Amino acid sequence: MEKSEKKEHIKMLREAGVKAGIIPVQNLFNEDQRIEEVKRLGILDLNLSSESRYSSITQVATYLTGCPQSTINILGSNVQQCKASFGFEPEQIDMMEEMPREVSICQFGLAKPGQPLIIENILEDHRTKNWQNMPFDPGFRFYASLPLMSSRGFSIGTLCVFDPKSKNLDHQQIDGLRLLSDQIVHMLEKEINSTGVSVPEVKTEEQSSQIKGNYYSATSIIFADFVGFTNLVENSDPGELLETLNTFFSGFDRIISKHNVRKVKTVGDCYMCVGGIPSQQKNHAQEACAAAMDMLKFVEGTNIQYEVLGKPRWELRIGIHSGPVIAGTAGNTFDIWGDAVNIAARLESSGESGKIHISEKTKDYLEGSGSFTPRGEVELKNKGSWSTFFLDGLN
């Protein structure tokens, strides 16, 4: 498509979207920083039409999901560019090369960075139902995408699959798309670094002490907290309290090391650790849950000794959630950030003593290797209603 034709095509689609009543995604968090990341990478300027590696990934995405079509899209401030595709006719590819972001489906993935976007039927979903008012029918009803998250944790685009029939994907299919999207970003950033397209960074003296981190698309976060700690503080000698905490935390350190889980930090009586960093191993949830179960056993074993000595019992409560995080260092201290961290903390605080409270996402990652007690829909503070479970054991 010639430049003048492309400009007219984009204008036509933009006007058609307004007339059809398509409402663009609004009030995006960190959108300015996200656009700066897209500009820094220079990714909108990349021509990948001759790079078969990317179209091969879209082909693998269709095999994985059973969907006949797939694309790799980059999202700018007001445009969406298709960089690679599989399963489309040449004239469709030409039309998808660049389009207004506000009429795309991919734009809605920006509302929840790092999370998959699954729309079982685009003509029934409230975000996309007005597509039926557009002057053309794209021919598909099902849509699923995984975000392309840069190493700095910004969504620069999507890996999408499409199907003419309404359907859904299981956990393994969605996680497979996540692995492919990680590979796409790795290839893109390597491509950009090798060609020197990226904009050089200029660090100020103030910036030199800022956080340095990388995005990890799949991790399992453990929050462990002692129930009734305030009462224990009030009724214990400070030296004895410190010695007891040291006993437990030292034991936890040994346990997580055995299970390939990394310690993040302790805050008061709270112990925080994470599985899946840096290796992104597939069994991060199994390792985190196994570590959590051993932590409960260790506390119970220590309590038996304390009861013999006439000391008060310590009751541990654990929450685990699996999801993406930014992990890195602030100064010389390792830490993790992201909404998945907040959810793990909420699971811990809404759990029960002596139990491991996990999210449905962590249960999915266990892939049937555990036994569970459903809790139904649980209200997590500031996070809405979540389907959660108590982990009873691992197979």
What's the pLDDT tens digit per position in 96-128?
899 999 999 999 999 998 999 999 999 999 999
**Residue 301 sits in the same domain as residue 338:** yes
**Residue 277 sits in the same domain as residue 349:** yes
Whether 203 maps to a domain, the answer reads no
Whether 177 maps to a domain, the answer reads yes
Whether 328 maps to a domain, the answer reads yes
**Residue 219 sits in the same domain as residue 311:** yes
Mean pLDDT calculated for residue range 287-299? 98
Residue 215 structural domain: 210-394
CA distance 205 to 202: 10
| Sequence-distant (≥ 6) Cβ neighbours of residue 373 within 8 angstroms | 389, 390, 392
Q: Count CB neighbours of 346 within 10 A.
A: 23
Whether 227 maps to a domain, the answer reads yes
CA distance 357 to 31: 33
**Residue 179 sits in the same domain as residue 57:** yes
195, 224, 241 - which closes a domain: 195
151, 166, 195 - which closes a domain: 195
Report residue 226 as tokens.
């002692």
Q: Edge to edge, what strands does the sheet with 142-149 contain? A: 98-100, 79-86, 69-75, 155-163, 142-149, 117-119
Whether 222 maps to a domain, the answer reads yes
Quick check: bond before 324 cis, omega within 30?
Answer: no
**Do 173 and 65 form a contact (C-beta atoms < 8 A)?**
yes
CA distance 314 to 235: 13
**Residue 38 sits in the same domain as residue 95:** yes
**Residue 161 sits in the same domain as residue 215:** no
**Residue 152 sits in the same domain as residue 248:** no
Mean pLDDT calculated for residue range 345-361? 97
Residue 183, domain CATH: 3.30.450.40
Q: Compute CA distances 281 → 147, 275, 284, 285, 374, whole Å.
A: 20, 8, 6, 9, 27
**Residue 128 sits in the same domain as residue 217:** no
Q: Which pLDDT does position 236 carry in this prediction?
A: 67
Whether 202 maps to a domain, the answer reads no
Q: Which pLDDT does position 204 carry in this prediction?
A: 38
Q: Which pLDDT does position 332 carry in this prediction?
A: 81
Q: Which pLDDT does position 94 carry in this prediction?
A: 86
CA angle centred on 284, ends 153 and 316, rounded to 5°: 105
Q: Which pLDDT does position 139 carry in this prediction?
A: 86
What's the pLDDT tens digit per position in 228-284?
877 776 666 777 788 889 999 999 999 999 999 999 999 988 999 999 999 999 999
Q: Mapped to the 3 state alphabet, what secondary structure does 39-105 carry?
A: HHHCHHHCCCCCCHHHHHHHHHHHHHHCCCEEEEEEECCCEEEEEEEECCCHHHHHHHCEEEHHHCC
**Residue 7 sits in the same domain as residue 54:** yes
**Structural domains of the chain, count:** 2
Whether 204 maps to a domain, the answer reads no
CA distance 348 to 222: 8
Residue 322, domain CATH: 3.30.70.1230
What's the pLDDT tens digit per position in 166-215?
999 999 999 999 999 999 999 999 888 765 544 444 343 444 456 678 99
Whether 101 maps to a domain, the answer reads yes
168, 195, 222 - which closes a domain: 195
**Residue 350 sits in the same domain as residue 243:** yes
**Residue 285 sits in the same domain as residue 319:** yes
**Residue 179 sits in the same domain as residue 255:** no
CA distance 117 to 9: 27
Q: Which pLDDT does position 210 carry in this prediction?
A: 64
